[in-house]
Structure 1
């Protein structure tokens, strides 16, 4: 019995250490979901619904909008038709397989106003003041140095443009407090916030436009 009693604390410590190690690995893994896991990206996330994205992003006909990290196109296929034939949705991803997947789906749905670009969100390959809006849904945390992405958003948005960030509690999750601080440091003003601590959508505007 004495051996059993002595073993229990050791077992508890081992379990606790394992949980800490697993947590560190989970939160420390910031690599984008590989294309091999693309079916997971087709699952709608609780609270980050299409209607809620519409309410915060407010896409309008004729606008040019940038989506960073489109995954398999779950949001792309919803937003692009709202921009109309005179509007355009640019989708940017580091993985060409993801872009190919989005474009195949767009073709099947008869959506012709999506333009793919392979690139790094920290160095957007677009001129200044190109986009009326830019959005990232569960993508910002996959990019090293997210503050550089936010600074690039300020650069490529038109005066009065808007940036929408959607986050959900997963291994790439950015808490809202952290995002708000990074946005402030990048010259972005919070305009709207919807959701909970673990799943939210936030809209920002360049501070000069907000003023």
Structure 2
């Protein structure tokens, strides 16, 4: 039997309004996770494991890569050693606390080929054609105007380079279909994908390279 309080019209309207507000926050909030919530970023998410990232990103010794939104460095500290002493991983974040956290982790592990950059991903502070690869794991949905982020990613990518985007169903989630449309609009060709629309890693190449 329904609870008598919940059947009152005013209560039902309040509950409905609360559900709408919660939904708007869940799907509309694009603020990055603050440093105070950093422990959430240390979790290996289903389909976004280090081994799956390796299979999609395919890091190689001597390459220069850019990670946008490294968080606490879960991926950074795994990828950078694979680039070797002749390679380099730039990490870019708008929150200096996250960059400091990554660099402390690198120092503890003796990793010396990570370079921090504080900047907005919509205006990357790098020359055209700088990177062999660029990747974002659960970061694209935190940035307003993701189409600008992808356009900048294409700009700084070297010929034959690749872009990898990882997403997971949380409040910043970008469904795969939405990402595919954004990528098409940025001149990117889907080259590989692991996972479902709710948790996936997808690799793209500029369409000129795929032709």
What is the TM-score of this pair, normalised by structure 2? Answer: 0.95
1:94 — aligned with what? 94
Matched position secondary structure for 1:178: helix
Q: Distance in 2 between matches of 1:83 and 1:5?
A: 62
Worse overlay, 67-76 or 26-35: 26-35
Instruction: Give the C-alpha shift of residue 26 in structure 1.
Output: 1.9
For the pair 1:176 / 2:176, whether they are aligned, the reply is yes
Aligned residues: 209
Question: Which contiguous aligned blocks of 4+ residues in structure 1 show a shift greater than 6 angstroms?
Answer: none
Instruction: Give the C-alpha shift of residue 9 in structure 1.
Output: 5.5
Structure 1: runs of 5 or more not aligned: none
- Superposed CA deviations along residues 49-105 of structure 1, whole A, max 9, x for unmatched, are 000000000000000000000000000000000001110000000011110100000
1:46 — aligned with what? 46
For the pair 1:59 / 2:59, whether they are aligned, the reply is yes
- Provide the aligned C-alpha RMSD in A: 1.6
1:27 — aligned with what? 27
Instruction: Give the C-alpha shift of residue 10 in structure 1.
Output: 4.9
Closer, same or farther in 2 for the Cα pair 1:5/1:79, shift >3 Å? closer
Q: Distance in 1 between matches of 2:197 and 2:154?
A: 25
Question: 1:148-167, aligned counterparts within 5 Å?
Answer: 148-167=148-167
2:132 — aligned with what? 132
Q: Distance in 2 between matches of 1:158 and 1:78?
A: 22
Matched position secondary structure for 1:183: helix
What is the TM-score of this pair, normalised by structure 1? Answer: 0.95
Q: Distance in 2 between matches of 1:6 and 1:204?
A: 50
Instruction: Give the C-alpha shift of residue 37 in structure 1.
Output: 1.1
Q: Distance in 1 between matches of 2:28 and 2:102?
A: 28
Q: Distance in 1 between matches of 2:138 and 2:6?
A: 45
Matched position secondary structure for 1:7: coil
Q: Distance in 2 between matches of 1:45 and 1:19?
A: 27
Structure 2: runs of 5 or more not aligned: none
Matched position secondary structure for 2:7: helix
Q: Distance in 1 between matches of 2:186 and 2:7?
A: 52
Q: Distance in 2 between matches of 1:171 and 1:157?
A: 29
